[in-house]
Amino acid sequence: MIVSHEHKYIHVKTQKTAGTTTAVLLGQQLVSGDATLPIDAEKEDITFPDGIVIKPTRELHGKQLKIDAHADIYNILSFFNDTPNLFEYKIVANERNPWDRVVSLYYWHQKLGRVPEDVTFKRFLYDRLAMDFGARTEYYYQDIPIADYVIRYEYLHDDMAELGRYLGLSKPLELGGLHFKGGVRKDKDYREMYDDQMARYVEIMFSRTITLFGYKFDDPYPTKEFKPLPNNQHMKRRVYRHAKRQLNPQKQQQKAK
């Protein structure tokens, strides 16, 4: 999760989509006052420029609030709702072929000890996926994607380079050999992990993503680029205002009087 006030963008970090790699590259061009969270990229020595707000907190109704690295856009807008015109910030996210992504998630959860070694992929898919992960789309609000730019895992180099230009960054976003949290899963074609019923199950769970990017089970590459909705700015303003009302109900009641 990144909120850059300097370049007016929000990075919504999605799971197993090269989100950490993206955050590391973007993090090198943050400036004083920008906010992010620590990155534990397999104990790599990740540092940020001076003055960056690491692990931002805020107080609400006498309680200290924190934000999660994989917070969705609603929670990010809620947490930073005291930022003027936050809804005007560009929203950036990452995406990946869902069938490939779920396999990666399975091996990642095993590495972290969240899924025992004796749990098969099929069992994980049916018993754990919906409960622990589901078809989470952190850059969606009420089933509507409100991102301005989405980096496709399959075109990571090209999309990252374009993102740097899109955000107006001073230096290009060049991957080189950079790739964090990789090498966890076995070198195996994700399609070999599925039978027809399992593939259909993922298709149903991730139907929005599949339609949006034109993903197919038999082809790992998306057939579409992400196109923001024509009313995207209106939707961001709507989410921002809704979050503000939810966090400050007393102020809203006073205004109503």
Which residue, among 42, 22, 40, has the nearest Cα to 30 in the 3D structure? Answer: 22
Which residue, among 76, 62, 55, 59, has the nearest Cα to 12 in the 3D structure? Answer: 76
145, amino acid identity: P
In this structure, what is the dihedral angle of CA atoms 76, 100, 227, 233, given to the nearest 10 degrees? -10
Q: Please report where in the chains the tokens 């807008």 appear, as a residue.
A: 77
Measured CA angle at 224 (ends 220, 230), to 5 deg: 145
Predicted pLDDT at 41: 47
Which residue, among 3, 61, 80, has the nearest Cα to 34 in the 3D structure? Answer: 3
The confidence band for 140, taking pLDDT boundaries of 50, 70 and 90, is very high
Which residue, among 38, 163, 146, 44, has the nearest Cα to 88 in the 3D structure? Answer: 146
Q: What is the pLDDT of residues 77-129, one digit of tens each?
A: 989 988 989 999 999 999 999 999 999 999 988 888 888 889 999 999 998 77
> What does the DSSP 8-state code read for residue 154?
G
Q: What is the pLDDT of residues 145-164, one digit of tens each?
A: 999 999 999 999 999 999 99
Q: What is the pLDDT of residues 190-204, one digit of tens each?
A: 999 999 999 999 999
Distances in Å between the Cα of 146 and the Cα atoms of 109, 128, 140 are: 28, 28, 6
In the chain, domain spans: 2-96+136-186+222-256
How many residues are recorded in the chain?
Answer: 257
- As a whole number of Å, the end-to-end CA separation of the chain is 37
Predicted pLDDT at 253: 41
Q: Which of the two residues, 178 and 253, has the higher pLDDT score?
A: 178
Strands 9-11 and 2-4: antiparallel
**What would the two tokens of residue 80 be?**
């930073």
- Backbone CA torsion sign across 153, 159, 164, 166: negative
In this structure, what is the dihedral angle of CA atoms 47, 50, 53, 55, given to the nearest 10 degrees? 30
Contacts of 238 (CB under 8 A, 6+ apart): none
Q: Which of the two residues, 182 and 172, has the higher pLDDT score?
A: 172
Q: What's this model's pTM, rounded to 2 decimal places?
A: 0.87
The confidence band for 23, taking pLDDT boundaries of 50, 70 and 90, is very high
| Total Cβ atoms within 10 A of residue 243 | 22
32, amino acid identity: S
Type and span of the H or E element at 3: strand 2-4
Q: What is the pLDDT of residues 197-233, one digit of tens each?
A: 999 999 998 999 999 999 999 999 999 999 998 888 9
Return mean pLDDT, the chain.
Answer: 85
